Amino acid sequence: MFLKKLEIYGFKSFPDRIEIQFERGITGIVGPNGSGKSNIGDAVRWVLGEQSAKSLRGGKMEDVIFSGTEKRKPLGYCEVALTFDNEDRGLDIDYTEVTIMRRVYRSGEGEYFINKNACRLKDIVELFRDTGSGREGYSVVGQGKVDEILSAKPEDRRQVFEEAAGVMKYKARKEEAARK
């Protein structure tokens, strides 16, 4: 499975609808300071279900919506869609292509979709669990993350390895069953 396309509308510094296509191999995103490189990484984590405004470098969730400039009015909502090539069924869902989408309004209301079908955050988190690509997956290595892993408590560091080993799914199910 690999990331094919990222579409953004109204997220942070992107008021226009933009589409970034990724090829197999490495894609680099370059640009001057403040041009929105990190915002692209934030968009990826956000659509995967990131719930912490702080980790998205904002104060509240609304801060991810384009807040306007001198020339442009703020927007009322934003959305991000991420499309994966799933020929190899790396994601446990029977489609060759999987698009997940998240939209949020200023009112705080939000929606998630998997291949255009409305779903819960939980469905997205479960779909990506153990793939390494979820919101807490090791595939997004933010600034300071390497330091954080090296200096983490052994129990916390273990989570990174468990995700890589693909056992988080079972742990989560066990915990859920124990709560019932």
Annotated binding site for ATP: 32-39
Q: Is 37 in the site for ligand ATP (CB under 6 A)?
A: yes
Subset of residues 65 to 124 that bind ligand ATP, contact rule: CB under 6 A: 65-67
Q: Is 38 in the site for ligand ATP (CB under 6 A)?
A: yes
Candidates 3, 6, 7, 12: give the one binding ligand ATP (CB under 6 A): 12
Instruction: Give the shortest CB-167-to-Mg ion separation in angstroms.
Output: 33
Instruction: Give the shortest CB-37-to-Mg ion separation in angstroms.
Output: 5
| Nearer Cβ to ligand ATP (41/90) | 41
Q: Is 13 in the site for Mg ion (CB under 5 A)?
A: no
- Any long-range contacts for 85-90 (C-beta under 8 Å, 24+ apart)? 85/1, 85/2, 85/3, 85/4, 86/1, 87/1, 88/1, 89/1, 90/1, 90/131
Q: Is 38 in the site for Mg ion (CB under 5 A)?
A: yes
- Cβ-proximal residues to 13 (8 Å cutoff; 6+ apart), any chain: 35, 36, 39, 66
Q: Is 31 in the site for ligand ATP (CB under 6 A)?
A: yes
C-alpha separations of 48 from 77, 78, 139 in Å: 17, 14, 12
The answer to whether the beta carbons of residues 86 and 103 sit under 8 Å apart is no
| Nearer Cβ to ligand ATP (100/104) | 104
| Nearer Cβ to Mg ion (30/178) | 30
Candidates 30, 33, 107, 151: give the one binding ligand ATP (CB under 6 A): 33
| Nearer Cβ to ligand ATP (76/166) | 76
Per CB under 6 A, residues contacting ligand ATP are 12-13, 31, 33-39, 63, 65-67
**Residues of the shown chain interacting with Mg ion in the complex, contacts defined by CB under 5 A:** 38
